[in-house]
Structure 1
Amino acid sequence: MDKESSRRASAVGWRSSRHHPYGRYRRPGPRPRPRDSQTGAAGEADRESGARDGRRARVRPRRAGDEAGSQRAAHEGNGERRVTEDLLFLDRAAVMACAADVDLCEATAWALGHHAEGATRMPAEGYLPWTNDAGGQCRSLAMLGAVEPPGGTPVRGVKIINAATTNPALGAERAGGVSLLFDQHTARPVLMAEAGWLSAARTAAYTMVSLRHLGPREWDALSVIGCGTLARAHLELLGTQFPQAKSVHLYDTDPERAADLAKWLGQHCPQLHPQIAPSARAAVGAARVVVTTTTVDTGFVPAAWLEPGTFVAHVSLSDLLPDAFVTAEAIYVDDVDLVAENPRRTLGALLRDGLVAAPGVTPRRGDATGEGAAVPEVNGTLGQVIAGRIEAVRPHRGHVISNPFGMAILDVALLEAVHQAALRRGTGQRLCLY
């Protein structure tokens, strides 16, 4: 098959799922159920469920009155008719229970594919920073997003996620918040859900999809820099997506945090064997897959630390130093404009200063790069790879970097899949608005 035919086959794949290497990227649906450990066969309840729902649930258009968030007519004692509204609320436990029925990676790839086709919208995010009484840096983010597939059911919503750097010292997670889904016809919120866990799961799912498409073809170990909540979300999902992964090298500036994560792995992911690295450099050099999940705003990982054939999931803002980007074999993002417009992100600064070029933009020469020096270019987006619009470059003689911004459309897509699972399960609490 020539390159053009291969691209076309891949482009069809994320819609039809037949040709796609991930196998099932049509739209968000339930994850395959665990098989009976004794017989290896699906249980009786699974067979009944599969026969009843055709095994793969579909996101159907909402009908007014058939779910939480609807407007209902009620009659007062005087015979007058009034309208009441309610919505479905999912706490973290409910979100996690429903997410167990969902293939988070499939839902993520579904949204990314539509983003590459121009079937999404994301207004500018709201950003409000402040400093608390303890001197901690706080911020509130409001991220709106919509996935509007042609001929399909649109999904729209918002994530409000707040964070304070002093929260971990109080025993709380650094970031947390709520997400809302909107009704297509009334524009009312139909679902409110705890956002912290699903936000971390969304980021982890993006990393898994990027690793599937852009990572080394053969690997069995990875390194994680930063051992907090986001690292845990990655490792939890890793075991279900990459059974060949055996060893995990952990590093955190707080040794106790790394030890806690290693202990958690032993309890929840026994197939992964943790090793605590003595330094960040030792961790980076220990595996060909490196995931950075820190909150630092000053880079510390130079290109010299990255062995040939390394894939870096640069989830953080600034772990990699500029020379790691400038010398990369390939660079992929989730949205070029979002990354370029972020002044706190290393890659965003490089794009702004012309030291790295956006796809299709004539690279600048001279000045900071030296007379006649070629400027490296961002290859494109992961969604374009999934949709077959551009080729995937895997690490070979150098290193490949995935550096996503973090898009609201992914939160919305995952939340809709969780919402549908909640409706099937009858999970959640209904909150009366009036």
Structure 2
Amino acid sequence: MPGYVGGSINQAGTKIINGNIANPRRGLPRASGLTLLYDPTTVRIACIMEGAYISSLRTASVSLLATRLCAGRPIECAAIIGAGVLAQRHIELLVQQIPSLVKISLFDLDKQRVANMRTLLTPLLEDSHVVLIEETSAQRAVEGAQLIIPVTTTTTGYIPYAWLQPGAILVNVSLDDPLPDVVLQADKIIVDDWDLIKNDTRRLLGRMYRSGEIIGPDDPHPQGSRARRIDAHLGDVVMRERVGRESDNDIILVNPFGLSIEDIALATYVYQEALRLHLGTPLKR
């Protein structure tokens, strides 16, 4: 995934992620990768860094940003579906950044992964007031939460609108977990980048766009169509050009998308800090 960020960052780079959903059975993370940064003048490689950590941190940071922008009543319970690296990164941020949080409901089809996650997070949880509860089903986890974050590898939806309590925020990180009725009935739908989403032929929102069930935030409404309009880009809400939440009871679906420019921006910051602190390993050309 190549990207270029202009302005004061002025950095081009490429995010490379290699993933295999069978890796957890081998005792390995599902995905790994590299981030390459290029000199903006010569275009030669300036830095090679591990990419999966930055990618997972960026993913969790976007979820947290969207949650803050769409917050209504205080969030006391968050549901995390899936117990991989993305789940770990989300839990770490949520525990540190949402003061009202007291409970995280975690569900994964593989109970051993949940046990491994608990072990990894024990030091963090012991220093907080948040408890981690293993739920027996995705439904139990979702129904009791004000914030729901699926981080799975499924391509088959399973979360119906009926599971979502009034005021819930569903951050659709893994893109295929909600059923279409969530998209059609949510009070607000906020997306990260509509052009990328509508051109994706595999994921839920891209499929619904192709079937004529949804249209973009600024698309003209086809005559006679009853298509559901996407409400806003996340950037519009950040810039206060559109509103994330209008009522405490609004059920909000946030559909982020893996944007390489965000990884490049974050990697550039890490690179600049490494240079300033004289960290890293210089490589001969």
* TM-score normalized with structure 2 length: 0.94
Alpha-carbon RMSD: 1.6
- State the number of aligned residues: 283
Tell me, yes or no, if the aligned pair for 1:215 and 1:394 is still in contact at 8 Å. no
* TM-score normalized with structure 1 length: 0.63
Structure 2 unpaired stretches of 5+: none
Cα shift at 1:365? 6.8
1:317 maps to amino acid: L
1:266 to 122, 128, 152: 122
Partner of 1:330: 188
Cα shift at 1:306? 0.8
Partner of 1:172: 28
2:274 maps to amino acid: A
Partner of 1:415: 267
**What's the CA shift string for 1:369-403, capped at 9, x where partnerless?**
xxx7x432111211111122222225633410111
| 2:160 counterpart of 1:160 | no
Relative to structure 1, is the Cα distance of residues 157 and 347 closer, same or farther in structure 2, using a 3 angstrom cutoff?
same
Partner of 1:378: 230
| 2:177 counterpart of 1:319 | yes
2:214 to 341, 344, 356: 356
2:166 to 284, 291, 308: 308
Alignment of 1:270-281 (within 5 A): 270=126, 271=128, 272-281=130-139
Structure 1 unpaired stretches of 5+: 1-142, 367-371
2:141 maps to amino acid: A
Cα shift at 1:364? 4.4
Identity of aligned residues (%): 35
Cα shift at 1:203? 0.3
Alignment of 1:198-347 (within 5 A): 198-270=54-126, 271=128, 272-347=130-205
| 2:270 counterpart of 1:427 | no
Alignment of 1:52-201 (within 5 A): 143-149=1-7, 152-201=8-57
- Cα distance in 2, alignment partners of residues 315 and 246 from structure 1: 22
1:380 maps to amino acid: A
Moved more, 208-217 or 224-233: 208-217
Tell me, yes or no, if the aligned pair for 2:73 and 2:248 is still in contact at 8 Å. no
Relative to structure 1, is the Cα distance of residues 357 and 247 closer, same or farther in structure 2, using a 3 angstrom cutoff?
same
Relative to structure 1, is the Cα distance of residues 279 and 365 closer, same or farther in structure 2, using a 3 angstrom cutoff?
farther
When Rg is computed on C-alpha atoms for both structures, the one with the higher figure is: 1
1:311 maps to amino acid: I
2:270 maps to amino acid: V
Secondary structure at 1:429 match in 2: coil
Secondary structure at 2:228 match in 1: coil
Cα shift at 1:227? 1.0
**What's the CA shift string for 1:201-229, capped at 9, x where partnerless?**
11001101111101334112111011111
1:165 maps to amino acid: I
Cα shift at 1:264? 2.6
